[in-house]
């Protein structure tokens, strides 16, 4: 669930919350909407790469992740810059074992 806040005396924001405890009726804040979406997109890409289990081009990864090729291409470039995956020659990407799995 997304909790939106807006008011004269508070800063506007959107947070992802989850009903945490039925006994105490408490909710748990999971984080900013943008951060949660971003990590979910990364997890889908990493899962697709794990399923493919070989160096793959963005189109192959996007097909497996059921996502847009353009979005996956941009995300792969960012993840490679951050060291989560490796960019190989000929536009293929590979999981760097020991990394990337943290996101899944």
At 81, which CATH number?
1.10.10.10
Task: Say if residue 12 is in the same domain as residue 63.
Answer: no
Higher pLDDT: 102 or 83? It is 83
**What pLDDT was estimated at residue 21?**
81
> Binning pLDDT at 50, 70 and 90, where does residue 82 land?
confident
Distances 66 to 25, 61, 62, 72, 101 between C-alpha atoms, Å: 36, 8, 6, 10, 19
pLDDT digits (tens, 9 = 90+) for 8-62: 998 888 888 888 888 888 888 888 877 776 678 888 998 999 999 999 999 999 9
Q: How far apart are CA 43 and CA 23, in angstroms?
A: 31
Q: How far apart are CA 45 and CA 1, in angstroms?
A: 23
Task: Say if residue 51 is in the same domain as residue 95.
Answer: yes
Q: Is the pLDDT of residue 84 over 90?
A: no
Q: How far apart are CA 41 and CA 21, in angstroms?
A: 27
Angle between the N-to-C axes of helices 69-81 and 58-65, in degrees from 0 to 180, rounded to the nearest 10: 110
Task: Say if residue 29 is in the same domain as residue 14.
Answer: yes
Q: Which among 35, 27, 42, 41 has a CA at the least distance from the CA of 102?
A: 42
Q: Is the pLDDT of residue 102 over 50?
A: no
Name the domain count of the chain: 2
Task: Say if residue 14 is in the same domain as residue 64.
Answer: no
Q: What is the mean pLDDT of residues 90-99?
A: 74
> Binning pLDDT at 50, 70 and 90, where does residue 98 land?
very low
Task: Give the pairing type, strands 93-95 and 85-87.
Answer: antiparallel
Q: Is the pLDDT of residue 104 over 60?
A: no
Task: Say if residue 28 is in the same domain as residue 44.
Answer: no
pTM over 0.85: no
Residue numbers of the domain that contains 15: 2-33
């Amino acid at each position: 669930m997304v909790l939106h806040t807006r008011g004269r005396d508070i800063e506007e924001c959107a947070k992802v919350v989850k009903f945490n405890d039925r006994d105490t009726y408490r909710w748990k804040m999971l984080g900013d909407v943008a951060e949660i979406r971003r990590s979910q997109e990364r997890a889908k890409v990493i899962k697709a790469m794990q399923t493919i289990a070989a160096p793959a081009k963005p189109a192959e990864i996007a097909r497996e992740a059921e996502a847009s090729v353009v979005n996956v291409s941009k995300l792969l470039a960012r993840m490679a810059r951050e060291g989560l995956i490796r960019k190989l020659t000929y536009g293929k990407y590979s999981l760097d074992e020991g990394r990337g799995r943290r996101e899944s």
